[in-house]
């Protein structure tokens, strides 16, 4: 079976980092880890070609070569997925689809021959066995969750690593918490399932041996779901792995209770972690209680963020407006909180109810579901009727985003962060493209950008006060440019 593994294109979103990637001449932020992992589960003798539409095109030659297409994706890639399926269908390929988009919305895709849903570790062997017997079914799904200690290492050699700004690796799946709006537990379960430290080292070795020296994102739902295993096994192994080589910078996603554990933060920094994405959501205690975000309540959230930054981890954060307990004062409160926190990359979205969540069920019962989710959590759309009214919510949101990403607010926040941040231990090597990015940002932002005054102010401040942070400051300036572009094209109309 000649197999195409296809990753649909995502639109221009906050998360795509498309405008920022141009500065470093990269085509995508991250590789399609699901397909790389799936590739390793398919029979070895099947010839495989991975086409990531975010870095390359699907050609007629590809379609003529293949017998079948395995397509993955998230909801945000829906449009490109439909187009891709239509082309594969026309070329007469057998189409197999899986991953979060299809697990949640398979009934929207008529032309797919086989849906292999949920975790491929459990459903793919059943499909392959039936295929061999000539009786493959239309849908394979399971309520069970797999043992990821048996998941094979991704087939890194299927991609050209050079096109990506970062590599990704997955240590665990699942989250011990139960936030009302989050679909992680529906998709990956409540119990935290972990790979072994040996598996992670083998995966890192795999990409390192192919020449990868840039950053690696641990794409866990909550990296600190099992602190004991981290402290006793994984982090010591990572610390050991980094020894004797130019350190690889890591980043990940975690819950805010990371701030309560100085030993864990210290070990993470020692292992090379320099940033962590945290679901902060809101400074409004009532909204946190409403959505059952217990880990964020009864604490000084601002102080927790500072503790993490001081330990040496940049905090990027997710924020939500539009909870039932939110009043129109929430927009100003969010602005103040985010400015004070120094969370430079603050992803703010309207409360959405993804299918499979408890919020979705509640909204349906209350007759408040109005649309289907766009899949982009930061485009100012929602699929629920908010208590404060849709118009007030949308207007307040546009105003909030305009403030947060206006050059004066953005650069002020970056400065707040740089003052607090201890500084990374491992650094992405300054290769030719990164050097050019410095020049490009100087020209695009420092000469032609409307932020030129703030740009040079922060550059000189960093140069004299925190010179080691200069590459980080430039990165933040470039991100700011991307966020502003997205804001003007998507939200400010």
Stretch that binds ligand B12, among 12-20, 79-87, 235-243, 296-304 (CB under 6 A): 12-20
The piece of 8-16, 191-199, 302-310, 458-466 that touches ligand B12 (CB under 6 A) is 8-16
Stretch that binds ligand B12, among 129-137, 283-291, 371-379, 419-427 (CB under 6 A): 371-379
Q: Determine which residue in the list 99, 249, 283, 322 makes contact with ligand B12, applying CB under 6 A.
A: 99
Cβ within 8 Å of residue 117, ≥6 positions away: 98, 102, 103, 106, 123, 139, 140, 141, 142
β-strands 172-173, 68-71: how paired?
A: unpaired
Q: Name which position in 39, 342, 375, 380 contacts ligand B12 (CB under 6 A).
A: 375
**Could you tell me the smallest distance in angstroms from the CB atom of residue 379 to ligand B12?**
9
The rounded distance, in Å, linking the Cα atoms of 166 and 24 is 12
Structure tokens at 46: 């099947």
3-state secondary structure of 137: coil
Span near ligand B12 by CB under 6 A; candidates 119-127, 196-204, 428-436, 446-454: 119-127
Q: Which of 26, 173, 193, 306 binds ligand B12 (CB under 6 A)?
A: 173
Is the distance from CB of 102 to CB of 95 less than 8 angstroms?
no
Q: What is the DSSP string of 197-232?
A: HHHHHHHHHHHHHTT--S-EEE--S-TTS-HHHIII
| Pattern 389-428, ligand B12, x by CB under 6 A | ----------------------------------------
Q: How many residues does the chain have?
A: 493
Q: How far apart are CA 486 and CA 90, in angstroms?
A: 34
Determine if 319 is a binding residue for ligand B12 (CB under 6 A): no
Interface with ligand B12, residue 101, by CB under 6 A: yes
Q: Which is nearer to ligand B12, 37 or 341 (CB)?
A: 37
Rg, Å, the chain Cα set: 22
CA triplet 62, 67, 69: central angle to 5 degrees? 70
34 binds ligand B12 (CB under 6 A): yes
Sign of the CA dihedral running 434, 440, 445, 449: negative
- For residue 221, state whether it binds ligand B12 (rule: CB under 6 A): yes
Residue 164 contacts ligand B12 per CB under 6 A: no
**Window of 68-76, 197-205, 244-252, 449-457 that interacts with ligand B12 by CB under 6 A:** 68-76
Among 30, 10, 45, which residue's Cα sits nearest to residue 159? 30
Sign of the dihedral through C-alpha 184, 27, 454, 398: negative
The answer to whether residue 203 forms part of the interface with ligand B12 (CB under 6 A) is no
Interaction of residue 279 with ligand B12, rule CB under 6 A? no
Q: How far is the CB of 124 from ligand B12 (least distance, A)?
A: 6
Give one DSSP letter per residue of 15-78, joined into a string: TT-HHHHGGGT-SBSS--HHHHHHHHHS-TTS-EEEEETTTS---HHHHHH-SEEEE---GGGH
CB nearer to ligand B12: give 197 or 307.
Answer: 197
Part in contact with ligand B12 (CB under 6 A); list of ranges 176-184, 307-315, 417-425, 483-491: 176-184
Residue nearest ligand B12 by beta-carbon distance = 98
Least spacing, CB of residue 354 vs ligand B12, in Å: 6
Structure tokens at 42: 């398919």
199 or 377: whose CB is closer to ligand B12?
377
Contact stretch for ligand B12 (CB under 6 A) within 66-74, 200-208, 382-390, 445-453:
66-74
Other beta carbons less than 10 A from residue 431's beta carbon: 12
Does 189 help bind ligand B12 (rule: CB under 6 A)?
no
Q: How far is the CB of 88 from ligand B12 (least distance, A)?
A: 12
Q: Which two tokens stand for residue 35?
A: 């397909």
Please provide residue 381's backbone torsions phi and psi, each rounded to the nearest 5 degrees. Answer: -110, 160
Q: What is the DSSP string of 326-345?
A: --TTHHHHHHHHHHHHT-SS
**Residue found by looking up tokens 């707040």 in the block:** 416
From candidates 24, 192, 219, 469, binder to ligand B12 by CB under 6 A? 219
30 is a site residue for ligand B12 (CB under 6 A): yes
**Helix boundaries (H) for 272-341:** 285-290, 301-311, 330-341
Cβ contacts of residue 152 below 8 Å, gap of 6+? 37, 40, 41
Contact status: 98 vs ligand B12 (CB under 6 A):
yes
Closest approach, Cβ 218 to ligand B12, in A, equals 9
Strands 193-194 and 172-173: antiparallel
Determine the size of the site formed for ligand B12 (CB under 6 A).
44
Q: Is 53 in the site for ligand B12 (CB under 6 A)?
A: no
The residue range among 117-125, 286-294, 446-454, 465-473 that interacts with ligand B12, by the rule CB under 6 A, is 117-125
The neighbour count for residue 483, using CB atoms within 10 Å, is 23
- 62 or 104: CB nearest ligand B12: 104
Q: Which of 183, 304, 416, 441 binds ligand B12 (CB under 6 A)?
A: 183
Binds ligand B12 (CB under 6 A): choice among 9, 62, 121, 247: 121
Q: Which residues bind ligand B12 (CB under 6 A)?
A: 10, 13, 15-16, 29-35, 37-38, 70-72, 74-76, 96-101, 104, 116, 119-121, 124, 168, 170, 173, 182-184, 187-188, 219, 221, 375-377
């Amino acid at each position: 079976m000649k197999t195409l593994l296809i990753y649909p294109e995502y639109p221009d979103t906050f998360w795509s980092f498309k405008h920022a990637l141009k500065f470093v001449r990269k085509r995508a932020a991250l590789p399609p880890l699901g397909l790389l992992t799936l590739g390793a589960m398919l029979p070895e003798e099947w010839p495989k070609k991975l086409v990531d539409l975010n870095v390359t095109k699907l050609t007629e030659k590809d379609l003529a070569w293949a017998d079948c297409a395995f397509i993955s994706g998230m909801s945000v890639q829906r449009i490109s997925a439909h187009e891709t399926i239509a082309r594969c269908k026309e070329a007469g390929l057998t189409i197999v689809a899986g991953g979060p988009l299809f697990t949640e919305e398979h009934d929207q895709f008529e032309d797919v021959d086989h849906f292999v849903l949920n975790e491929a570790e459990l459903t793919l062997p059943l499909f392959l066995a039936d295929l061999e017997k000539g009786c493959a079914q239309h849908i394979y799904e399971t309520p069970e969750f797999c043992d990821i200690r048996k998941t094979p290492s991704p087939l890194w050699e299927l991609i050209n690593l050079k096109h990506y700004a970062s590599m990704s690796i997955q240590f665990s799946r699942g989250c011990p918490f139960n936030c009302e709006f989050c679909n992680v537990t529906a998709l990956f379960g409540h119990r935290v399932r972990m790979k072994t430290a040996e598996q992670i080292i083998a995966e890192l070795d795999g990409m390192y041996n192919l020449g990868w020296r840039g950053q690696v994102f641990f794409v866990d739902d909550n990296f600190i779901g099992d602190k004991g295993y981290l402290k006793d096994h994984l982090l010591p192994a990572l610390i050991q792995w980094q020894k004797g080589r130019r350190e690889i910078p890591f980043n990940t996603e975690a819950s805010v209770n990371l701030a309560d554990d100085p030993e864990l933060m210290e070990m993470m920094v020692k292992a090379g972690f320099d940033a962590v994405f945290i679901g902060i959501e809101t400074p409004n205690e009532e909204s946190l209680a409403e959505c059952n975000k217990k880990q964020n309540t009864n604490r000084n959230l601002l102080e927790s963020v500072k503790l993490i930054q001081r330990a040496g981890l940049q905090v990027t954060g997710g924020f939500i407006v539009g909870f039932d307990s939110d009043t129109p004062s929430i927009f100003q409160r969010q602005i103040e909180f985010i400015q004070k926190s120094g969370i430079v990359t603050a992803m703010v979205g309207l409360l959405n109810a993804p299918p499979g969540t408890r919020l979705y069920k509640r909204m349906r019962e209350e007759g408040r579901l109005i649309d289907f989710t766009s899949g982009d959590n930061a485009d100012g759309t929602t699929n629920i009727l908010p208590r404060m009214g849709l118009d007030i919510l949308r207007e307040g949101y546009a105003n909030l985003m305009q403030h947060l990403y206006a050059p004066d607010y953005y650069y002020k926040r970056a400065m707040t962060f740089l003052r607090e941040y201890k500084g990374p231990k491992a650094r992405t090597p300054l290769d030719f493209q990164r050097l050019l990015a410095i020049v490009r940002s100087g020209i695009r932002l420092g000469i032609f950008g409307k932020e030129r005054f703030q740009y040079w102010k922060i550059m000189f401040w960093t140069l004299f006060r925190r010179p080691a942070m200069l590459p980080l400051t430039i990165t933040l300036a470039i991100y700011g440019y991307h966020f502003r572009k997205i804001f003007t094209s998507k939200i400010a109309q």
